[in-house]
Amino acid sequence: MNFYSLHREAPKVSFKEAVIRGIAPDRGLYFPEKIEPLPTSFFEGIEDLANDEIAFEAIRQFVSEDISENALRTILRDVLDFDFPVHELEHNIAVLELFHGPTMAFKDVGARFMARCLGHFSKEKSNEVNVLVATSGDTGGAVASGFLGVQGVNVVILYPRGKVSDIQERQLTTLGQNIVALEIDGTFDDCQKMVKTAFLDEELLENMRLTSANSINAARWLPQMFYFLFAYKQLKAKNKEIVFSVPSGNFGNICAGMVAQKLGMPVNHFIAATNVNDTVPQFMQTANYSPKPSMATISNAMDVGDPSNFIRIRHLYEDNFDLLKQNLSSYSFTDTETKAAMRSIYKESKYIADPHGAVGYLGLKKFREKHPDVYGIFLETAHPVKFLDVVEETLGQSLEIPPQIQKVMDKEKKSVKISTYLEVKEYLLGR
Asked if pLDDT for residue 10 goes beyond 60, the answer is: yes
The number of beta carbons lying within 10 Å of the beta carbon of residue 188 is 29
Asked if pLDDT for residue 47 goes beyond 80, the answer is: yes
How far is Cα 423 from Cα 426, in angstroms, rounded to an integer?
5
Of 174, 152, 142, 182, residue with least CA distance to 430? 182
Amino acid 46: pLDDT = 97
CB-based contact 18:29 (threshold 8 Å): no
Query: Any alpha helices (H) in 263-332, and if so which ranges?
Result: 279-286, 310-316, 321-327
With a CB cutoff of 8 Å and minimum separation 6, the contacts of 50 are none
- Assign residue 75 a region (left: φ > 0; alpha: ψ between -120 and 50; beta: otherwise): alpha
What's the pTM value of the predicted model, to 2 decimals?
0.89
CATH numeric code, 82-100+221-400: 3.40.50.1100
CB-based contact 223:113 (threshold 8 Å): yes
Amino acid 411: pLDDT = 84
Residue 152 backbone dihedrals phi, psi, to 5 degrees: 80, 10
Amino acid 64: pLDDT = 95
With a CB cutoff of 8 Å and minimum separation 6, the contacts of 427 are 156, 182, 416, 418
DSSP 191: H
* CATH 3.40.50.1100 segments of the chain: 2-32+107-217+412-430, 82-100+221-400
Residues 310-343: tens digit of each pLDDT: 999 999 999 999 999 999 999 999 999 999 999 9
Residues 155-214: tens digit of each pLDDT: 999 999 988 888 888 888 988 889 999 999 998 889 988 988 998 888 988 888 888 887
List strand residue ranges (DSSP E) for 333-381, in order.
375-380
Residues 284-299: tens digit of each pLDDT: 999 999 999 889 899 9
Query: Any alpha helices (H) in 23-105, and if so which ranges?
Result: 40-44, 51-63, 69-79
Q: Which CATH architecture has domain 2-32+107-217+412-430?
A: 3-Layer(aba) Sandwich (3.40)
Q: How confident is the model at residue 218 (pLDDT cuts 50, 70, 90)?
A: very high
CB-based contact 342:395 (threshold 8 Å): yes
76-79, long-range: CB within 8 Å, 24+ apart, which pairs?
A: 76/52, 76/113, 77/52, 78/112, 78/116, 79/55, 79/109, 79/112, 79/113, 79/116, 79/223
Of 157, 85, 137, 120, residue with least CA distance to 379? 85
What is the dihedral angle through the alpha carbons of 162, 166, 154, 309, rounded to the nearest 10 degrees? -70
Residues 382-418: tens digit of each pLDDT: 999 989 899 999 999 888 888 888 887 878 889 999 9
Mean pLDDT of 228-234: 98
What is the dihedral angle through the alpha carbons of 321, 381, 34, 309, rounded to the nearest 10 degrees? 50
